Every structure is written in structure tokens, then in C-alpha cells.
């Protein structure tokens, strides 16, 4: 997508933004979406009222935290969920398996499997959610941005789709919003959540890298990154944008001058709601 087109769409969305009053949405907390033995839950952010006969596009929200921490109802995730739900989206913000240094279990690729299971759960509950199953997107910040990208670019041919539950449903999404997530994991740094360094396990880091899985059939991307991010360098998003360009994948990189690592859709540097809403509207509202 060209900058001028996305900017024009964003300007159109400005008039649709809510006033300063809190968005009118419904929130359902602590929904079980994984097998009974799993403790991780999800929160649903829904439009204030479902209109009869209308189907709503969906968005999966994935929290950050270095694959070791974070939670589904942190400030960023609440901001994203309420913003999108107030504009006619059915949103699901999830917990997923985190790295536990006291456990021998590796969180990867189960964390990605959990994210993909959430997409399947949304489709399996389409009637309850009034969901348009053909139009589901994903958004995440930091480690959640990485996982959001991985949901978008990996499929059964990569061996990274979960075997179940809801295996009759597709894990595919129509678009990705990546908020300052790392993408080139082979050439960045050692990740404690993977329990091994890059020298010890190059194949593991390759499989964990977004760049490994890109192909021309991947969905459109919107990438958001701040210039003073000292946790995930801006170069990670620039490298991803270059790789998307090489594959011919529709994308837009929005660089936010002066923004640090962690921000939601309304950082003090720039209101990103019009941009994000325009992107989702283009790809999820036929």
C-alpha cells in the first residue's frame, strides 16, 4: 500500500473516532479457549449491540512481554480492544503459554499454537460472536507483534499449525498489525525463552524468525515502530518491511518519531487510531 492511499484512508477514519467519552463496548472476561487443563484465558471485546443479521469482522489481540510475561488485560490490550470493538470489531485478547524458568517445557511453538487456536476458536464460535469468518485480522505488540506476524505468515506447510483443538477450522488471517515486534530472530540476540543461544540452536532461531516464513501469498502488513525504542531496534521493522517488499507483500511501515518501545494506539507522539482503523477497515470490512 502506498503512503498516500493509507493516509487518505486514515483521514477518512478520523471523523469516525469516538468523542472523549469512554467507548461503549461489552467485555466478557476469562473465557476458556484452550483444553480444560490449561489455565490461560481470553477476554472478548464486543460491540455494544449486535445488529440482527449483521456479521462483524474479528481481530485477535496478542500481548507482549518477551515471551516470558505479560497478560491479556494490560493497558495496551484494553486500549486496542475497546477501540476496535467500538468501531464494529469482535476482538479476542488472549493469554498464551509463557516461558517458565522453573519448568522444563519449552514455550515455543506452543505459544504460537495457542494464538492459532484462538483464531480457530473464534471461527468455531461464529454464531455466538456474529463473526464474519472470512475477515479476521491479528494485532500484537513486542513479543505479541512477533507472534502476530507468525500467525500471519505460517501455515500447515511450515509444520506450525496446532493439531487441535478445533482442527476443522482454519488458522488463517486476512491482515497483520505488528507493533514493534522483532522479526529477524536469527540475527538479533539470544532469547532466554528459547533456552538455547543462537550458536547452540541455529535451526531453532531460524524457525522462530518471521523472515524465514515469508512468501508472496502472505497477508497485508501494517508495522508500527518508534524511533527511540531501546528494546527492539527500529531496524527490526525496517528489515521486515524490506523483506515484505522483496516478496511483493502489501505493507506499510509507520515510524513514530520520539516513541519508545511500548505504546498503545494513542501514544502522546501521535494518535494511531485512524491509521490502524483505516488498515483494518480496508482489509476486514468488504
Structure confidence by residue, pLDDT tens digits, 151-176: 999 998 999 999 999 999 999 999 99
- Predicted confidence band at 224 (pLDDT cuts at 50, 70, 90)? very high
Q: Where are the beta strands (DSSP E) in the chain?
A: 25-31, 42-47, 56-62, 90-94, 131-141, 175-179, 221-226, 251-256
What's the whole-number mean pLDDT along residues 237-250?
98
Distance in angstroms (rounded) separating the CA atoms of residues 129 and 56: 8
Average pLDDT, the chain: 94
Task: Please give the torsion angle defined by the CA atoms of residues 46, 154, 219 and 45, in that order, rounded to the nearest 10 degrees.
Answer: 10
Q: Give Cα separations from 259 to 59, 70, 229, 232 (angstroms).
A: 24, 20, 7, 12
> Omega before 226 cis (within 30°)?
no
Can you give the pLDDT at residue 6? 62
Residue 21 has a pLDDT of 59
Distance CA 27, CA 29 (A): 6
What does the pLDDT average to over 193-205?
97
| pLDDT for residue 23 | 73
Topology adopted by domain 3-17+25-284: Rossmann fold (3.40.50)
Rounded to an integer, what distance in angstroms lies between the CA atom of residue 127 and that of residue 145? 28
Q: Are strands 251-256 and 131-141 parallel, antiparallel or unpaired?
A: unpaired
Q: How far is CA 267 from CA 7, 61, 76, 210, 281, in A?
A: 18, 18, 10, 26, 21
- Cell for 48? 455494544
Domain boundaries, the chain: 3-17+25-284
Q: Average of pLDDT values for 141-152? A: 98
| Alpha helix (H) residue ranges in 130-191 | 143-153
Paired strand residues for 228: none
d(CA 280, CA 240): 20
In the 8-state DSSP scheme, what is residue 283?
Answer: H
Determine what percent of the chain is predicted with pLDDT higher than 70: 92
Confidence of residue 286 (pLDDT cuts 50, 70, 90): confident
DSSP, res 214: -
Higher-pLDDT residue of 41 and 14 is 41
Strand, helix or coil at 233? coil
Amino acid at each position: 500500500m502506498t503512503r498516500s492511499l493509507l493516509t487518505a484512508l486514515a483521514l477518512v477514519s478520523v471523523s469516525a473516532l469516538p468523542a472523549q467519552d469512554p467507548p461503549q463496548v461489552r467485555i466478557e472476561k476469562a473465557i476458556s479457549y484452550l483444553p480444560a487443563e490449561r489455565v490461560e484465558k481470553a477476554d472478548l471485546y464486543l460491540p455494544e449491540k449486535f445488529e440482527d443479521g449483521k456479521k462483524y469482522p474479528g481481530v485477535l489481540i496478542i500481548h507482549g512481554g518477551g515471551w516470558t510475561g505479560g497478560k491479556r488485560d494490560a493497558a495496551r490490550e484494553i486500549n486496542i480492544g475497546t477501540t476496535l470493538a467500538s468501531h464494529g470489531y469482535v476482538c479476542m485478547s488472549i493469554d498464551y503459554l509463557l516461558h517458565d524458568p522453573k519448568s522444563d517445557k519449552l514455550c515455543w511453538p506452543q505459544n504460537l499454537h495457542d494464538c492459532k487456536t484462538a483464531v480457530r476458536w473464534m471461527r468455531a464460535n461464529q454464531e455466538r460472536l456474529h463473526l464474519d469468518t472470512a475477515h479476521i485480522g491479528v494485532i500484537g505488540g513486542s513479543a505479541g507483534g512477533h507472534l502476530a506476524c507468525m500467525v500471519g505468515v505460517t501455515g500447515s506447510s511450515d509444520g506450525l499449525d496446532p493439531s487441535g483443538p478445533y482442527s476443522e477450522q482454519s488458522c488463517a488471517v486476512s491482515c497483520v498489525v505488528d507493533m514493534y515486534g522483532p522479526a529477524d530472530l536469527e540475527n538479533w540476540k539470544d532469547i532466554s525463552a528459547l533456552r538455547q543461544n543462537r550458536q547452540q540452536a541455529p535451526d531453532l532461531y531460524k524457525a522462530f524468525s518471521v523472515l524465514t516464513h515469508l512468501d508472496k501469498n502472505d497477508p497485508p502488513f501494517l508495522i508500527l515502530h518508534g524511533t527511540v525504542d531501546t528494546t527492539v531496534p527500529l531496524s527490526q521493522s525496517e528489515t521486515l518491511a524490506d523483506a515484505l517488499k522483496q516478496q511483493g507483500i502489501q505493507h506499510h511501515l509507520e515510524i513514530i518519531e520520539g516513541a519508545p518501545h511500548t505504546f498503545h494506539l494513542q501514544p502522546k507522539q501521535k494518535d494511531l487510531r485512524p491509521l490502524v482503523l483505516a488498515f483494518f477497515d480496508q482489509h476486514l470490512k468488504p
